[in-house]
Amino acid sequence: MKKQHIALFVTGGIAAYKIPLLVRALVKAGHDVRVAMTASAQKFVTPETLAIVSKHAVLTDGHEFDHPEHVAHVALAHWADLGVVVPATANTLAKLAAGLADNVVTTTLLAMTAPKLMVPAMNDQMWQNPQTQRNIARLISRQGYRLLPPATGQLAEGYTGVGRMPEPDQIALFLENLAEPRLKGRRIIVSAGGTKERLDPVRYLTNDSSGKMGTAIANAAAGAGAAVTLVTTRELPVVPGVTVKPVTSAQSMADAILADFPDADAVIMAAAVADYRAPTISDHKIKKVDANSGLTLTLVQNPDILATLGQKKTHQVVIGFAAETNDLLANAQTKLTKKKADMIVANPVDATHGFNADTDTVTFLRPDQPPVTLPEMTKQKVAMALIEQLTTMLPKQKG
């Protein structure tokens, strides 16, 4: 996400005490952040605290006209590129759905035309109440709000349930990936990381894939409104709404992807899948015979997941990656044709590009179209460019 003016609207939930951490994360990312808060929110975090971390005065009830040269809540509404209601209580969501404007937060939001995101936080029974769900549906359908769903975890009441506010770093990550909801209603599967092929209980064959690219793609797809399943061998931060399926081997990755493939709109194979595995896994550590003995491994081919998807696809868009050390475009073009993919993302692997790096230089290859080469950029930006390409490749949704 480009650097933006972000207005945070803090309401009276216990999770408000975490908002200074969110402000700091957004400021650190380069955004200009301003805060408005309700009187109830001030019982959990002070305006002075939020003013210090944001470097701006906080807008509260009773101070709208401290500077008579402008109306403060309207000025904030005009200033913001994005509004985020966090934590969004059931009470505030009900007011917003009804169009009420009885405090500085609801008044500002009613005047705001910029995109708005709600991050609900409440007790699980309040979250699951049909009226709360109707209010949220109304805000999404009639007022254009985006929703970052609450997490499942320890609630203030002392038990585990759905309704917990996502952690500040998760919210910040979601905001960094937030884009136009062009993939709303779509189901996307993304693979990430390098697979591990066991030889014995202590050894395996693998590669240097970090999983950064695939995870960035999953986050970008979720930011564009998709329901995302990330099939991965790595544990990296994902935004709320990404369903993570941990796997290890090529076979377990294939099983996880193929199970969800019939209902998917697209699959993006960013994982580095091992080509070979041992035909059997030793149940004990393989010992060397003597100081001079060698070890000969007999390997068999793993399932070719990308080729299988290319053969099985009906309506799905299938995208693969080609990480090459030489003849990048020639090898990627061969892979595009041989695997029957709809697009191949070609990326070089050398001392400064590819595995484990935070930046990448990629080329998009599609059948019967000229290659599109991007300049070197962060993997997050590559991911967002890839999602932009995907939106042009998907068939229009019915209805």
The predicted structure's pLDDT at residue 350: 75
Same domain for 71 and 52: yes
Residue where a domain stops, chosen among 128, 154, 177: 177
What confidence tier does 265 reach under pLDDT thresholds 50, 70, 90? very high
Instruction: Enumerate the active-site residues.
Output: 207
- CATH number reported for the structural domain that contains residue 133 in this entry: 3.40.50.1950
Residue 379 has pLDDT above 70, yes or no: yes
Of 192, 197, 331, the residue nearest 276 (C-alpha): 197
Q: Are 393 and 317 in contact (CB under 8 A)?
A: yes
Residue 399 has pLDDT above 70, yes or no: no
Residue 298 has pLDDT above 60, yes or no: yes
Residue where a domain stops, chosen among 177, 197, 221: 177
State the average pLDDT over residues 252-257: 97
Tell me if 121 is assigned to some domain. Answer: yes
Mean pLDDT of the chain: 93
Helix axis angle for 305-312 and 250-260, nearest 10°, is 20
Query: Is 18 assigned a ligand-binding role in the annotation?
Result: no
What confidence tier does 398 reach under pLDDT thresholds 50, 70, 90? low
State the average pLDDT over residues 52-57: 96
> What is the distance between the alpha carbons of residues 396 and 399, in angstroms, rounded to a whole number?
9
Query: Is 339 assigned a ligand-binding role in the annotation?
Result: yes
Residue 2 has pLDDT above 80, yes or no: no
Same domain for 366 and 342: yes
The predicted structure's pLDDT at residue 124: 95
Residue 167 has pLDDT above 80, yes or no: yes
Residue 109 has pLDDT above 60, yes or no: yes
Q: Which domain holds residue 247?
A: 185-391
pLDDT > 90 fraction of the chain, expressed in percent and rounded: 82
- CATH number reported for the structural domain that contains residue 279 in this entry: 3.40.50.10300
Same domain for 173 and 190: no
Same domain for 161 and 202: no
> What is the distance between the alpha carbons of residues 173 and 24, in angstroms, rounded to a whole number?
13
Element (H, E) at 147: strand 146-147
Integer Rg of the chain from CA: 24
**Six token digits for residue 364:** 């998009």
Tell me if 344 is assigned to some domain. Answer: yes
Same domain for 221 and 172: no
Residue 378 has pLDDT above 70, yes or no: yes
Residue 73 has pLDDT above 70, yes or no: yes
At 3-20, the pLDDT tens digits run: 899 999 999 999 999 999
DSSP 193-252: SB--EEEETTEEE-----SHHHHHHHHHHHHTT-EEEEEESS-----TTEEEEE--SHHH
State the average pLDDT over residues 24-47: 97
DSSP state of 350: S
Residue 372, φ and ψ in degrees, nearest 5:
-120, 110
> What is the distance between the alpha carbons of residues 349 and 107, in angstroms, rounded to a whole number?
53
Query: Is 275 assigned a ligand-binding role in the annotation?
Result: yes
Query: Is 335 assigned a ligand-binding role in the annotation?
Result: yes
- Domains of the chain: total: 2
CA distances (Å), 346 to each of 274, 308, 313, 354, 373, in order?
Answer: 18, 20, 21, 10, 9
> What is the distance between the alpha carbons of residues 16 and 47, in angstroms, rounded to a whole number?
11
Q: How crowded is the C-beta side of 108, counted as CA atoms within 13 Å?
A: 33
At 320-341, the pLDDT tens digits run: 999 888 998 999 999 999 999 9
Same domain for 194 and 124: no
Say how far residue 321 (Cα) sits from the centre of its chain. 19
Tell me if 399 is assigned to some domain. Answer: no
Query: Is 304 assigned a ligand-binding role in the annotation?
Result: yes
Please indicate whether residue 78 or residue 70 has the higher confidence score (pLDDT). 78
Tell me if 302 is assigned to some domain. Answer: yes
Query: Is 303 assigned a ligand-binding role in the annotation?
Result: yes
Same domain for 219 and 152: no
Tell me if 305 is assigned to some domain. Answer: yes
